[in-house]
Chain A
Amino acid sequence: MAFTLVKPLGERRSALWLDAIIVLAIGAVALGLTQVAAQWRHPLLANVEIDISLKSLPRYAFFTFVRGWIAYFFSLLFTIVVASWAYYDQRARHYILPALDILQSLPVLTFLPGLEFGLVALFHRSNTGLELACILSIFLGQVWNMTFSYYDSLRGTPPDFRMLGKLYNYSWWSRFWRIELPFGAQALLYNSMVSMAGGWFYLTTCEAFTSGDRSFRVPGVGSYMAEAMSRGNVRAQIAGVVAMGVIIIVIDRLIWWPLVNWSVRFKLDDFGGNRAQRSSLQLWLARSAAVQGLSGVWQSLRNRLLPPPQPPCAATSLVAPGTKPPAPSRVGPVIYIAVLAALIALLGWGATRLAWMLGQVHVVDWLEMGRGAGYSLVRVFASVLIGTLWAVPFGIWIGLNPKLSGRLQPLIQFVASFPMPMIYPWLLGLIFLVHGSLGWGSILLILFGTQWYILFNVAGSAAAIPNDMISCVEILHLRGWRRWWKFLIPAVMPGLVIGWITAAGGAWNTTIIAEIVTVGPRTYTTTGLGSYIARAANDGRFAQLAASALLMAAIVVAINRTVWKRLQTLANDRCRFIT
Chain B
Amino acid sequence: MEAQTNPLIELRHISHEYAAVSQESDLVLSEINLSVNEYDAVALLGPSGCGKSTLLRIMAGLITPTKGEVYNKGMRLCGVSPGVSMVFQNFALFPWLTVRGNVLLPVGTLPAAEQQARLEKVLGTVGLGAYEYAFPRELSGGMKQRVGIARALIAEPEVLAMDEPFSALDVLTAETLRGEIGRLVADPNHPLRTMVFVTHNITEAVFLATRIVVMATQPGRVEVVVTNNLPYPRDTDAPEFKQMVERLHSILTHTILPDTSHPAQDKVVTKIDDFHRRIAPVALPYVTPAEVLGLMALLGDEPTDVFALAERFGKEFGSVVNVVKAAEMLEFVRTPEHDVLFTPLGRELVGASTAGQKKLVRDQLLKLKIFELLIRLIKVQEQHVLSAEEMLRELQVALPHEKPRPLFRTLLSWGRYAEIISYDQRRHIVRLYESRGAARARAKPGAPDGPGAHSPADPAAHTPAEPVVQSPAEPAANLPGGPVAPAQPAVPPVPAVPPVAAQAAQPPAGPPAQPGA
Residues of A within 8 A of B (CB): 97-98, 100-101, 104, 144-145, 148-149, 151-152, 158, 160-161, 163-164, 166-169, 178, 182, 186-187, 189-191, 193-194, 260, 263-268, 270, 272, 274, 307-314, 316-323, 325-326, 398-399, 402, 405-406, 409, 412-413, 416, 453, 456-457, 459-463, 495, 498-499, 501-502, 505, 560, 564-565, 568-569, 572-573
Contact = CB atoms under 8 A, between A and B. Distances in A.
B503 A505 contact: yes
Contacts of B79: 312, 316-318
A191 B507 contact: yes
A317 B81 contact: yes
11 contacts: A152-B501, A160-B89, A265-B135, A307-B109, A316-B79, A318-B77, A325-B78, A459-B511, A461-B508, A498-B509, A565-B498
A190 B505 contact: no
Contacts of A569: 495, 497-498
A317 B80 contact: yes
A145 B504 contact: yes
Contacts of A495: 508
A194 B509 contact: yes
The dominant DSSP class at the A interface is: helix
A55 to B, nearest CB: 35
Given A314-B75, A319-B78, A565 B513 contact: no
Contacts of B62: 163, 166-167
B155 interface: yes
A194 B510 contact: yes
Contacts of A453: 509
A149 B109 contact: no
Contacts of B94: 161, 178, 182
Given A160-B92, A312-B80, A317-B82, A100 B501 contact: yes
Given A97-B499, A148-B504, A505-B503, A326 B78 contact: yes
A168 B510 contact: no
A267 B505 CA distance: 18
A456 B511 contact: yes
B445 interface: no
B512 interface: yes
Interface in B479-517: 495, 497-517
Nearest to A186: B516
Contacts of B512: 398-399, 405, 409, 456, 459-460, 462-463
A311 B109 contact: yes
From B84, B135, B498, B499, residue with most partner A Cβ within 10 Å: B499
Contacts of A274: 515
Nearest to A398: B512
B80 A409 contact: no
Contacts of A104: 504
Contact of B516 (A190, A325, A398): A190
Nearest to B90: A160
B197 to A, nearest CB: 16
Nearest to A326: B78
B108 interface: yes
Contacts of B78: 317-319, 325-326
A101 B61 contact: no
Contacts of B318: none
A187 B501 CA distance: 15
The dominant DSSP class at the B interface is: loop
Contact of A167 (B60, B75, B77, B135): B60
Contacts of A97: 499-501
Closest 7 A-B residue pairs measured CB to CB? A308-B108, A317-B79, A325-B78, A186-B516, A148-B505, A145-B504, A318-B75
A309 B108 contact: yes
Contacts of A413: 511
Given A168-B105, A413-B511, A151 B505 contact: yes
B275 interface: no
A246 to B, nearest CB: 20
A499 to B, nearest CB: 7
Given A148-B505, A161-B92, A191-B507, 20 more contacts: A161-B94, A163-B62, A190-B517, A263-B515, A265-B135, A267-B95, A311-B106, A312-B61, A317-B77, A317-B79, A318-B76, A319-B78, A325-B78, A405-B513, A409-B511, A456-B509, A459-B511, A463-B512, A501-B503, A565-B502
A455 to B, nearest CB: 10
B17 to A, nearest CB: 18
A318 B82 contact: yes
Interface string B96-130: 10000000011111000000000000000000000
A426 to B, nearest CB: 25
B88 A163 contact: yes
B501 A312 contact: no
Given A309-B108, A320-B76, A405-B512, A187 B82 contact: no
B137 interface: yes
A315 to B, nearest CB: 9
Contacts of B504: 104, 144-145, 148-149, 502
Contacts of B513: 402, 405-406, 409, 463
From A98, A148, A459, residue with most partner B Cβ within 10 Å: A148
B501 A182 contact: no
B408 interface: no
Nearest to A458: B512
A346 B498 CA distance: 30
Contacts of B85: 167
B96 A568 contact: no
Contact of A267 (B61, B89, B515): B515
Contacts of A405: 511-513
A266 B514 contact: no
